[in-house]
Amino acid sequence: MLPLEGITVIALEHAVAAPFATRHLADLGARVIKVERPGVGDFAREYDRSVHGEASYFVWLNRGKESIELDLKSDVDRELLLTMLDDADVLVQNLLPGAVERLGLDAPTLRARRPELIHCSISGYGPDGPYSDKKAYDLLVQCESGLLSTTGTPEEPAKVGVSVVDIATGMYAFSGILAALYERERTGTGATMSVAMLDAVGEWMMQPTYLSVYGEKPFRRTGARHASIAPYGPYRCADGTVFLGVQSDREWALLCREILRRPELVDDPRCARNTERVAHNEMITEVIEKALADQPVDEVVRALELCGLACARMRTPHEFFDHPQLAARDRWREVGSPGGRIRALLPPVTVEGQEAAMGDVPRLGQHSAALRREFGPATSAGTAEARSGSEVR
C-alpha–C-alpha distance, residues 43 and 63, integer Å: 16
280 is catalytic: no
Residue 249 CB-density burial (10 A; 0-12 exposed, 13-18 middle, 19+ buried):
middle
The catalytic position among 226, 280, 323, 367 is 226
DSSP conformation class of 225: S
Write b or e for each residue in 299-327: b if 16 or more Cβ atoms lie within 10 A of its Cβ, otherwise e. Answer: ebbebbeeeebebeeeeeeeeeeeeeeee
The DSSP-derived string for 118-145 is EEEEEESS-SSSTTTT----HHHHHHHT
How many helices (DSSP H) and strands (DSSP E) are in the chain? 17, 11
- Whether the ω angle into residue 338 lies within 30 degrees of 0, i.e. cis, is no
**CA separation (Å) from 348 to 144, 204, 313?**
29, 19, 21
Residue 105 CB-density burial (10 A; 0-12 exposed, 13-18 middle, 19+ buried):
buried
Residues with active-site annotation: 226
